[in-house]
């Protein structure tokens, strides 16, 4: 209820799955972001990797850790893609909801958190 009422929220990795309206092979939970996601789309644990991602609205590349990360397969008309990695959306925003396929916090990156805090 709070998210739908406008509380800013950041979902990273599994948080993206929890917030997505559609999950391939699964049931959505909060369904507050008009996207379809596929779980573990970047491979297994051993396929984990780090990458610098250029995010619109952030003045430096954001370092992200992709660990069994979800991939966005479909994006709704009201969803803004803020960043892509290898042609796939990895940071998205719809109103008060911001999501990332990766973990910025595992490398001490705070720019996405600060981006969301500016919405408060």
Rounded percentage of the chain residues whose pLDDT exceeds 70: 100
Predicted local confidence at residue 47, as pLDDT:
84
What is the residue range of 61's domain? 1-7+53-120
In the chain the first and final C-alpha atoms are separated, in Å, by 17
103 domain-assigned:
yes
61 domain-assigned:
yes
- pLDDT higher than threshold 90 for residue 78: yes
Reported as a single tens digit per residue, the pLDDT across 90-103 is 999 999 999 999 99
1 domain-assigned:
yes
The candidate with the shortest Cα–Cα distance to 62, out of 37, 85, 38, 28, is 85
* Choice among 13, 85, 93, 109 that is catalytic: 13
- Gap between the Cα atoms of 111 and 61, Å rounded: 9
The tally of domains found in the chain comes to 1
108 domain-assigned:
yes
CATH of the domain at 97: 3.40.50.880
Reported as a single tens digit per residue, the pLDDT across 9-31 is 999 999 999 999 999 989 889 99
Specify whether 13 is catalytic: yes
* Choice among 24, 73, 84, 105 that is catalytic: 105
* Choice among 85, 93, 103, 109 that is catalytic: 103
Specify whether 105 is catalytic: yes
Predicted local confidence at residue 107, as pLDDT:
93
14 domain-assigned:
no
- pLDDT higher than threshold 90 for residue 105: yes
């Amino acid at each position: 209820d709070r998210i739908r009422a406008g509380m800013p929220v950041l979902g990273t990795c599994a948080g993206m799955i929890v917030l997505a309206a559609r999950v391939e092979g699964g049931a959505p939970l909060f369904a507050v972001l008009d996207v379809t996601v596929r779980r573990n789309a970047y491979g297994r644990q051993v396929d984990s990797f780090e990458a610098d991602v250029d995010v619109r609205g952030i003045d430096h590349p954001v370092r992200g850790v992709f660990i069994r990360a979800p991939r966005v397969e479909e994006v709704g008309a009201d969803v803004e893609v803020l960043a892509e990695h290898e042609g796939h959306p990895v940071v998205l925003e719809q109103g008060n909801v911001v999501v990332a396929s990766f973990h910025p916090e595992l490398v001490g990156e705070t720019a996405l958190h600060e981006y969301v805090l500016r919405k408060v």
